[in-house]
Amino acid sequence: MNPLSTLRSVLRPLALTAVFGASIALAGCGGGGGGEEEDDQVVIQQVTIESTAELDGVVFGDNLDVNASSTLPPHVGDGPAQATGGAQRAHGIYSFDLSGLPAGAVIRSAKLRLAVDEVTNNPNAAMALVLVDHVNFGAIFPQSFGMLTLDTGFAQITDIDVVGAKELDVTEQVQDDMDSNRTRSQYRLRGAVDSDFDDDSDLAKLSDADGTTASEPPALILEIELPATN
Ligand SMILES: [Ca+2]
Ligand SMILES: [Ca+2]
């Protein structure tokens, strides 16, 4: 067997399961046979990026009135009907700073870790399910529902009414951000249905980076692949 292949078969599972916050180099062994693979060197690294406190939060909208605040935890759901403009709705917003990642990093995997901390009434029934959008609103917390949507409803959360951790696969989304030279990876949670219009609030409040909730801050858990430096 190619000695490099043997080395990789041993080291790669180790890197996936046991190495956190560290890197491991997989170097060519210079054995016989030639070919590109023997000169191929990669470093696998696990990186955790917590959400940016001033860019995570909630955006409200009721057609006529728009509010935004980054001092409230992200939440998703509806509220009582407004005097005008229909029921209040809430979208949860998240942003993760990618600027510290090395240029050229290949995203082997990316997970978005969130947590539902508090549930009011029945948000799952009110919204049918929660959709996750890959968005790009930049460096200023959005003041309305309107923002550039890169990938609409790429994931679903079907148990938003269950308190606890949620984990989503965002590998494609983070790779797209890297390929497009975006310095942030940003997400929005919204109801598949805006409201059940029952005049009751149906909400799920989620973790944030401001510490207004008890859970760990939302985070991207990345496994990246880099060219090794000799
Ligand atoms: Ca915040
Ligand atoms: Ca409702």
Q: Give the tens place of pLDDT for each residue, 6-46.
A: 333 333 333 333 333 444 444 433 333 333 333 468 899 99
Let me know how long the chain is: 230
Please tell me whether residues 150 and 130 are part of one structural domain.
yes
Is residue 208 over pLDDT 80? Answer: yes
Q: How far is the CA of 126 from the centre of ligand 2 (A)?
A: 6
For residues 70-80, average pLDDT: 85
Please tell me whether residues 99 and 189 are part of one structural domain.
yes
pLDDT class of 64 with cuts at 50, 70, 90: low
> In the chain, at which residue ranges do the beta strands (DSSP E only) sit?
23-26, 42-50, 57-61, 66-69, 75-81, 87-97, 106-120, 130-136, 148-157, 164-169, 184-191, 202-206, 219-227
* 229, part of any domain: no
Q: How far is the CA of 222 from the centre of ligand 1 (A)?
A: 21
Please tell me whether residues 36 and 77 are part of one structural domain.
no
Q: Are 58 and 191 in contact (CB under 8 A)?
A: no
Q: Which of 93, 94, 97, 57 is nearest to 184 (CA)?
A: 97
pLDDT in tens, 179-188: 999 999 999 9
pLDDT in tens, 85-135: 567 889 999 999 999 998 878 999 999 999 999 999 999 999 989 999 999
Q: How far is the CA of 60 from the centre of ligand 2 (A)?
A: 14
What residues flank ion ligand 2 with Cβ within 5 A? Answer: 78, 126, 196, 198, 200, 202
Q: How many alpha carbons fall within 13 Å on the CB side of residue 198?
A: 13
- Mind giving me the DSSP string for 104-129? T-EEEEEEEEEEEEEEES-HHHHHSS
Chain-wide mean pLDDT for the chain? 81
Q: How far is the CA of 180 from the centre of ligand 2 (A)?
A: 38
Nearest listed ligand to the Cα of residue 202 = 2
Number of Cβ within 10 Å of residue 78's Cβ equals 27
Name the DSSP letter for residue 19: -
Q: How far is the CA of 11 from the centre of ligand 1 (A)?
A: 39
Q: How far is the CA of 127 from the centre of ligand 2 (A)?
A: 8
**Domain limits for position 22:** 3-40
Please tell me whether residues 20 and 55 are part of one structural domain.
no
Comparing 221 with 72, the larger pLDDT belongs to 221
Comparing 193 with 25, the larger pLDDT belongs to 193
Please tell me whether residues 10 and 92 are part of one structural domain.
no
Please tell me whether residues 32 and 58 are part of one structural domain.
no
For residues 203-215, average pLDDT: 87
* 154, part of any domain: yes
Q: What is the pLDDT of residue 172?
A: 98
| Category of 57 on φ-ψ map: left (φ > 0), alpha (ψ -120 to 50) or beta | left
Helix (H) or strand (E) holding 17: helix 3-17
